[in-house]
């Protein structure tokens, strides 16, 4: 999987810099409008600039068990049957965890000037106040993200784990090729049969200090999904293309034909060069955790840490 596009595409989605977007529809649902009532409208402000006007009557008590999640799907035609899950998501998490991470870092800042959503320093003090929240023509333009415009990255560590090295053995090394350019050399001995139940997932965490206790989940993830679904979506669109020239990973047209061939896969100095990454990335330490598992199959995972710093000019 490509670190590069993994982060890039989501940031682009947030920043909306290189393309125009147009809201098509927005629908809301509440199982009980006396407890929560949502009213959302989108208005055009300028070409390619839209404002969101929101009114939410929040009239129930949140608890530790209030959960949130978000998923993004894409369709090239707009036809309902055509939408496919993308690897951009807020994984299922408690509302309070969300308030202390993504909400605090992004939503709270972006919507401060145009809404009365909760503002806080330090940790969020539950529960969420029962009141009417409103936003008035909030423009979604990515301003207010904690950002640096030009950045370097540096791999800090990469760890792998396999529950049974006779079934899968991973060997990953990162080598410096040039200033700010690194190559990944990988050898994977794949020696077990994948099934419909082989699952993959990936998460990204960020820490400003690098301290282990400081890492917070970011809303960039590959939600838990079957390996075959992954092969037909993210793998095919991104990884297969990016690593074709430097590796022997499976190449296919149309739909992936299971199972994954049992063989040794290698990548030779596959460059993660930051091309196509957004100009604007928050500084800090980024930890990317990928996992793969299935019933009666080995469990394996990788943990990579990268440091992002402002570029020295
Ligand atoms: C990798 O898998 C092992 C076994 O399930 C687990 O103990 C370890 O915490 C996992 N590592 C990460 C980073 O999730």
- CB count, 10 Å around CB of 253? 6
Q: How far apart are CA 51 and CA 134, in angstroms?
A: 13
Nearest to 287 by CA among 179, 177, 212, 230: 212
Q: How far apart are CA 288 and CA 280, in angstroms?
A: 19
Which atom of ligand 1 approaches the CA of 301 most closely?
Answer: 1
Torsion of CA 299, 159, 4, 230, to 10 degrees: 0
| CATH class of the structural domain 148-310 | mainly beta
Residues in contact with ligand 1 by the CB-under-6-Å rule are 161, 289, 299, 301, 303
pLDDT at 145 (0 to 100): 38
Does 147 have pLDDT greater than 50? no
Name the band, by pLDDT with cuts 50, 70 and 90, for residue 14. Answer: very low
Which atom of ligand 1 approaches the CA of 159 most closely?
Answer: 13
Torsion of CA 275, 281, 285, 289, to 10 degrees: -60
Pocket mutation for ligand 1, best pick of 159, 161, 168 (most atoms within 8 Å of C-beta): 161
**83 preceded by cis ω (within 30°)?**
no
Name the band, by pLDDT with cuts 50, 70 and 90, for residue 5. Answer: very low
Give the Å distance between the CA of 161 and the centre of ligand 1.
7
The residue ranking higher by pLDDT, 217 or 198, is 198
Nearest to 94 by CA among 127, 53, 136, 133: 127
Nearest to 299 by CA among 162, 129, 132: 162
Give the Å distance between the CA of 299 and the centre of ligand 1.
8
Write out pLDDT tens, residues 176-208. 888 777 888 999 999 999 999 999 999 888 898
Quote the mean pLDDT of the chain. 83
Give the Å distance between the CA of 291 and the centre of ligand 1.
8
pTM to 2 decimal places: 0.61
Q: Which two tokens stand for residue 257?
A: 């034909």
Give percent above pLDDT 90 in the chain: 45
Which atom of ligand 1 approaches the CA of 163 most closely?
Answer: 4
Give the Å distance between the CA of 228 and the centre of ligand 1.
22
Instruction: Give the residue extent of every domain in the chain.
Output: 12-62+87-139, 148-310
Which atom of ligand 1 approaches the CA of 289 most closely?
Answer: 13
Give the Å distance between the CA of 281 and the centre of ligand 1.
28
Which atom of ligand 1 approaches the CA of 293 most closely?
Answer: 5
Mean pLDDT of 47-61: 87
């Amino acid at each position: 999987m490509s670190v590069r596009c993994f982060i890039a595409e989501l940031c682009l989605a947030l920043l909306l810099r290189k393309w125009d977007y147009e809201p098509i529809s927005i629908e809301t649902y509440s199982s009980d409008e006396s407890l929560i009532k949502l009213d959302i409208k989108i208005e055009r402000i300028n070409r390619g600039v839209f404002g969101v006007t929101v009114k939410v009557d929040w009239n129930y008590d949140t608890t530790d068990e209030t959960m949130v999640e978000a998923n993004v799907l894409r369709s090239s035609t707009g036809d309902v049957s055509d939408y496919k899950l993308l690897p951009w998501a807020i994984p299922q998490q408690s509302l309070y965890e969300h308030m202390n991470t993504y909400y605090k870092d992004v939503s709270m800042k972006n919507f401060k000037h145009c809404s009365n959503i909760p503002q806080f320093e330090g940790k969020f003090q539950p529960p969420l106040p029962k009141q009417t929240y409103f936003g008035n023509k909030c423009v979604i333009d990515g301003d207010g993200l904690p950002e640096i415009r030009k950045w370097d990255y540096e791999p800090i560590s990469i760890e792998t784990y396999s529950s049974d090295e006779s079934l899968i053995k991973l060997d990953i090394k990162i080598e410096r090729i040039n200033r700010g350019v690194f190559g990944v050399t990988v050898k994977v001995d794949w020696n077990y049969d994948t099934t419909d139940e082989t699952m993959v997932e990936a998460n990204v965490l960020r820490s400003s200090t690098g301290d282990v206790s400081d890492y917070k989940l970011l809303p960039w993830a590959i939600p838990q999904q079957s390996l075959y679904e992954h092969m037909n979506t993210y793998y095919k669109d991104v990884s297969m293309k990016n690593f074709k020239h430097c590796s022997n990973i499976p190449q296919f047209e149309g739909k992936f034909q299971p199972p994954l061939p049992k063989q040794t896969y290698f990548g030779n100095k596959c460059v993660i060069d930051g091309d196509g990454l957004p100009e604007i990335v928050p500084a800090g330490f980024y930890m990317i955790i990928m996992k793969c598992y299935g019933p009666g199959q080995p469990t394996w995972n990788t943990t990579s840490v990268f440091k992002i710093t402002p570029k020295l000019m």
